[in-house]
Structure 1
């Protein structure tokens, strides 16, 4: 179930809204009637990656760290100024 509440109301009765989210409700927080934030239940605990997923993550991080060569050349400051 979704519930709308103003920032002021949430500020004054924060524990009430935390209890509502613990029961599975979403609380949409508004400022002058416009939604600006949402309190949602933390129902999905973080899960540990299995070996295959962790290896894929490590490969991806290594690729990101290494970067990709796009065929460009490095320029010195003097070469860069000459091109102007």
Structure 2
């Protein structure tokens, strides 16, 4: 079982904005460019890069996607912070 993951994310307040971003990704938009443009998280300036983190370090809903969701596929998840589009780059 994976103990660490490396992920990118885009954080927005509203689901309609998150759905719009997911649509742009499906059409081939670059994840990092969208993160810089839309993310309200400070990591947005770095293209949404959260770096590598341990299992249990993030809020539960986010953690679950990062450690069980398909790698390299954007996922939509809601947490107390808002709506996240999460892309896991790898797990170790």
TM-score, structure 1 length as denominator?
Answer: 0.26
Higher fraction of helix: 1
TM-score under structure 2 length normalisation? 0.25
Give the structure with the larger strand fraction.
2
The structure, 1 or 2, with the larger RCO (C-alpha pairs under 8 Å, 6+ apart) is 2
Determine which structure has more spread, i.e. the larger CA radius of gyration. Answer: 1
